[in-house]
Amino acid sequence: MTTQKLPKVFIVGESGTTGLRLHDRLISRSDIELLSLPDEKRKDIPTIVEYAKNADLMFLCLPDDASREIVKATEGTGIRILDTSTAHRTKEDWVYGFPELSSEQYKAISKAQKVAVPGCHASGAISILYPLVHAGVLPINYPLHIVSLTGYSGGGKKMIKEYEEEKTLPLASPRQYGLSQKHKHLPEIMKVCKLCETPLFSPIVADYYAGMEVTVGFHTGFLQLPCGLPGDITLEDFHTIFEKQYKGSKFIKVSPLSTEETNALFLAANENAGKDSMTLYITGNDERIQVVSLFDNLGKGASGAAIECMNIMLGLPPETGLVVD
């Protein structure tokens, strides 16, 4: 009897926030072999290239320029790549790592040599906007405003230290940033959702560790009617669109529509902290609708999404090793 060879996987940038979470999730897996770069060689290009020649898949958890350097250096090795940086998310020769877009996207990821893992804010925005554009409801020039509230872990080690060890008075309150309207996640949102007008984007970081709440509002009188919907678009129509998009998904759930209780509902941004799943809430009324996407910025917004894509690329059930309850 022959023993089945386990896929060999390694992480470049293992010491960062996303890399650490990836390592913690993968180290106990029995269906892969996790390789580790020697500490003294973790930035050494020749060593990384040698690992790439002998492994099946490589995660990049690096700044954009460093990711580009590693991708170029490992060309021709045959290594499959999952890049968590911003560097390749809008590149035509990379597959965007959001399998819930369609069955075609899932299949493309399964066959891909190079997959770009979505940004955390972008994951929430795309989970809301893509189904509406795809259904023909949302015009691609609609004046969108996206509000995204996140825990401080998304800012990396430096920000975590500021909040947990060096806390000053401003850190005790939510802080809006990206005020120049040039946030690095906007290009991928526009490309994936085929938007022709750049949304207003208001990211906010607050004094809690993990969890993200992305909210987009819509005035229904300015939306288009999709085929098959009689009359004006309603809150129930919105809910139906999202249920159809994510039917059967193990990662994205649509909360039941409950208009009577909505006014009394509080949505905590850390509701899905520690999980790799996402929950969508469709709220408001038939004239003004808000869709809210709740997830962990380090889960479905980072390492959880990366592992989901890895599982698909390796032919494993996508939820393997992840928390999706």
Residue 58: C-alpha distances to residues 40, 55, 168, 221, 268 (Å): 19, 8, 38, 47, 35
Closest CA to 110 of 308, 305, 322, 250: 308
Is 120 among the residues known to form the active site? yes
Q: Are 310 and 9 in contact (CB under 8 A)?
A: yes
Beta 95-96 vs 114-116: how paired, if at all? parallel
Q: CA-CA distance, 316 to 311, in Å (whole number)?
A: 5
What is the DSSP secondary-structure string of 99-112? Answer: GGG-HHHHHHHHH-
Q: What is the dihedral of CA 300, 302, 304, 308, to 10 degrees?
A: 90
Given 61, 120, 193, 309, the catalytic residue: 120
The CB density around residue 4, as the number of other CB atoms within 10 Å, is 7
The tokens for 7 are 């896929």
Torsion of CA 204, 172, 165, 12, to 10 degrees: -10
Q: What is the distance between the alpha carbons of residues 57 and 77, in angstroms, rounded to a whole number? A: 11
User: Tokens 């189904």 map to which residue?
Assistant: 131
CA–CA distance, 210 with 274 (Å, rounded to integer): 8
**Whole-number Å distance between alpha carbons of 67 and 62:** 6
Angle value at C-alpha 22, between 39 and 243, nearest 5 degrees: 165
For residue 190, the Cα-to-chain-centroid distance in whole angstroms is 15
For the annotated catalytic residues, the residue numbers are 120
